[in-house]
């Protein structure tokens, strides 16, 4: 089998290569593709070095699958060209998620949406969208509750890792961690502190993130919500195939590297038994129920980092609203929130073809 990874030099692209090797694809022909400025560089894969090629060269190689993490603009430009060459694309950007003709897939929940799209295309190559990282972990944690009870409303507050922004954000945090003082000011495009001067062009965020957080993820929309918040609304409804779910969200960026955390208030369509909720969550593939407050056991990014599972804890009834409960969800946004989910989609498709 031949697999292309487009955006192979980025944070998620490198993790895709790692996950492919871990999940048994180390002997396959893997093509590392990226933008022109990265062509000729090398990336590690399964103990060997791959030379990065152009996206056009990757298309010409006609791989069976192309896994994208190159941004929405690159996906819009190149994904259709891969499909025209007979390559099925699994795209990690926002480019195709809202398109009703493109399946938006978390394999444990709705891989059938991908198979249905393939059948509708007469078994030709298609584009499959990978959901946003914050959406993936939440819907996987809630999937059994949606199936058993139905979900009426979700109120979500996310605490999102800087790795969701990319390597530029990681470098900004690392630079800021060298500070002895939190005093700062921005003057004439320069961030000045007592111990650090950083050009704003080098900053991923408009403010320091070290010892700070801000309710800003994505771009602000005219209605006051951000694009990251809107993704939680639109993608959850699409994955659960239920446009009636009422959803509101606040996204917060925090100085964490290991993963995203989410406080989720869930209103179910009927009353529930909390022990049954625990059983449903614990039995969900890919989910770890980690919930023993008496022993101070609850999910944290430090536990989820470099892991593929979604961790769930702090389960408790919401006494202020009928049929409602609260839970806390944590996952590594680069792994299950991006790279692992994409590779799992490819695994499911390839397994179906093999059989």
Map residue 323 onto helix, strand or coil. coil
- The single residue of 133, 269, 305, 355 carrying the catalytic annotation is 133
Map residue 55 onto helix, strand or coil. helix
Retrieve residue 324's tokens. Answer: 């409602």
Annotation says 270 is catalytic: no
Q: How many CB atoms lie within 10 A of CB 100?
A: 7
Nearest Cα to 82, choosing from 62, 68, 96?
62
Nearest Cα to 337, choosing from 139, 134, 169, 165?
134
Helices marked H in the chain = 11-20, 55-60, 72-84, 107-120, 133-148, 167-176, 227-239, 274-282, 301-304, 340-354
Nearest Cα to 175, choosing from 164, 188, 162, 158?
162
Nearest Cα to 282, choosing from 112, 105, 145?
145
Give Cβ neighbours of residue 90 (< 8 Å, ≥ 6 apart): 65, 66, 67, 68, 128, 130, 342, 345, 346
- The single residue of 195, 210, 260, 269 carrying the catalytic annotation is 260
Per-position DSSP letters for 171-218, written without gaps between them? HHHHHHTT-S---EEEETTEEEESS-EEEGGG-SSSS--TT--BS--S
Radius of gyration of the chain (CA): 21
CA atoms within 13 A on the CB side of 30: 30
Retrieve residue 241's tokens. Answer: 């195939």
Helices marked H in 287-328 = 301-304
Retrieve residue 83's tokens. Answer: 């499909």
Q: Which residues, in sequence order, are bridge partners of residue 8? A: none
Active site residue ranges: 133, 260
């Amino acid at each position: 089998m031949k697999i292309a990874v487009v955006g192979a030099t980025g944070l998620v692209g490198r993790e895709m290569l790692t996950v492919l090797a871990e999940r048994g694809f180390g002997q396959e022909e893997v093509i590392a593709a990226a933008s022109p400025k990265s062509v000729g560089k090398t990336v590690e894969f399964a103990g060997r070095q791959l030379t990065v090629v152009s996206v056009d060269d990757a298309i010409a190689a006609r791989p069976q699958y192309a896994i994208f993490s190159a941004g929405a603009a690159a996906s819009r430009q190149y994904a259709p060209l891969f499909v025209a060459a007979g390559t099925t694309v699994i795209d990690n950007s926002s480019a195709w998620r809202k398109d009703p003709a493109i399946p938006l897939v978390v394999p444990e929940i709705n891989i059938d949406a991908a198979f249905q799209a393939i059948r509708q295309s007469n078994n030709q190559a298609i584009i499959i969208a990978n959901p946003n990282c914050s959406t993936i972990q939440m819907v996987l944690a809630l999937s059994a509750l949606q199936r058993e009870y139905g979900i009426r409303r979700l109120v979500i507050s996310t605490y999102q890792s800087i790795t969701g922004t990319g390597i530029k954000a990681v470098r900004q945090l690392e630079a800021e961690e060298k500070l002895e003082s939190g005093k700062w000011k921005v003057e004439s495009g320069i961030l000045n502190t007592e111990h650090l001067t950083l050009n704003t062009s080098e900053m991923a965020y408009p403010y320091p993130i070290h010892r700070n957080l801000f309710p800003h993820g994505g771009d602000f929309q005219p209605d006051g919500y951000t694009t990251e918040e809107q993704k939680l609304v639109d993608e959850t409804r699409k994955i659960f195939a239920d446009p009636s779910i009422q959803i509101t969200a606040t996204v917060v960026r925090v100085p964490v590297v290991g993963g995203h955390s989410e406080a989720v208030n869930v209103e179910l369509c009927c009353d529930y038994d909390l022990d049954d909720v625990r059983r449903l969550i614990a039995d969900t593939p890919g989910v770890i129920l980690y919930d023993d407050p008496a022993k101070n056991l609850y999910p944290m990014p430090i536990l989820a980092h470099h892991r593929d599972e979604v961790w769930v804890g702090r389960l408790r009834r919401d006494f202020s609203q009928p049929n409602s409960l609260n839970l806390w969800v944590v996952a590594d946004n680069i792994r299950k929130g991006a790279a692992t989910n994409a590779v799992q989609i490819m695994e499911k498709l390839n397994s179906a073809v093999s059989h």
